[in-house]
Chain A
Amino acid sequence: MNKAKPMMSNRTLTLQVNGQPQTLEVPSGQILLETLREALDLVGARNSCGIGMCGTCTVLVDGMAISSCLTLTAQVEGKHITTIEGLSQNGQLHPVQQAYIDHGAFQCAYCTPGLILSTVALLNEHVNPDDATVREYLAGNLCRCGSYVNILNAVRACHTIND
């Protein structure tokens, strides 16, 4: 059996993932999505379109939503990365996660972690977003099952909680 070596040089780097420092050795051209899924087993970020259009790979970097499929892991060295796995604390769901359940805001849920993280970023930026702002902000996260109406209801409920 042949064990091949990666063709690219590896590099060791430290990421802050969900509040924990993670020191990893990754191929220097590896994308963040792959590092999260393969090296850290954080599979809530998902591959789908591969071009930043769909939002299933959304994670927060220093609180800002980005596409982990278009980010080299080396680019976020030292930065704070939040994945869906880091949202709930001590087994307690984040209010946004709970609102998504309460309003039936998902179907197959492949898009859901990305949408929830985008919602968190939205609510960090806007205290009381109106519907138009919510639609605009979340338009880059596609839901092929078409749960948008319930998602809007969930987000409305979240900013009611914030009031």
Chain B
Amino acid sequence: MNYELLQPDSLSGAMEALAQHGDEAKVLAGGTAVVLMLQQKLIAPTVLVSIGRVPDLDHIRTEPDGLHIGPLTILRDMERSSVIQRRFPLLAQACGEVGNVRIRNQATLGGNLAEADYASDPPTALLALGAQVTATSVRGARTIPLEDFLVGFYTTDLEPDELITDIFIPASTPGSRMTYLKYKSRSSEDRPCTGVAAIAAFGAKTCTDLRVAVGAACEVPQRLPAVESLARGQALTDELIGEIAAGYADSIETLEDIRGSARYRTQMIRVHVYRALEELRNGHR
């Protein structure tokens, strides 16, 4: 617990602090992950850069190309945002599934992505939405598709001197239906055993576009474009939904933890991909 706490009040100040201290530093946003890890002595940074005083990092801004979300936006604001509820309801659902009210009052979207915890809900929803992360440092800014940002188990593509400054969600095809299904194998307060995010656009009788992301059952959330494409131009029959669900179950290498074995995870992927697609087809939301 021998670290220096910096609380820069500008973005440039935060960038400079990170540039100076690099991998000795840890960024503190809401604190639900970082303070926990500090308390449990799981991390030992020499500098903690709190970005809570940096202005304008908690926006939810609609622009013609899509939605821009500031990294300090708390999950509770995501969950309750009318624009997110209207345009990207699965993201509101996924953010509303995290932890409990207190955690969601503190945890931020940027912090959630930077932690890259496999057993979390928002990354899966964001992957299905085709989200992009902007990382900024004194060296400049770069935009990273989420599938490239999430590298592995608790690992991201962020450099030690970089800070997430924006999360961008491109506009969806008008009339798209979307859902997020969190499956908890134990208590209501559990992390996901599996999470399935699905988005479908429909023509007169057929599905014109399908995106399905599966998370929590594997090291990083995954999409399978080859399987998704089975739906394109097709009616979502029970058979086709079953084929897609099986495609996901068969292709994803699942992990084992206290919430279920790898084999069970595979079974749950199949069940919940099926249920998600069935829900979209039946147009319940």
Which A residues lie at the B interface, using CB under 8 A? 7-9, 11, 27-29, 31, 50-53, 55, 58, 64-67, 69-72, 74-75, 118, 121, 137, 139-142
Contact = CB atoms under 8 A, between A and B. Distances in A.
A52 B5 contact: no
Contacts of B7: 74
B38 interface: yes
Contact of A72 (B35, B99, B103): B35
Interface residues of B, number: 27
B50 A74 contact: yes
Interface of B: 1-5, 7, 28, 31-32, 35-36, 38-40, 48, 50, 52, 76, 99-103, 105-106, 188-189
Given A70-B31, A139-B189, A52 B39 contact: no
Where chain B touches its partner, the secondary structure class is: mixed
A72 B100 contact: no
A69 B50 CA distance: 17
A28 B49 CA distance: 12
Given A55-B102, A66-B105, A75-B31, 9 more contacts: A7-B2, A65-B105, A67-B103, A69-B35, A70-B39, A70-B106, A71-B31, A139-B100, A140-B99
Contacts of B101: 65, 118, 121, 137, 140
Contacts of A137: 101
Contacts of A9: 4
B102 A65 contact: yes
Contact of A140 (B3, B39, B103): B103
A8 B48 CA distance: 12
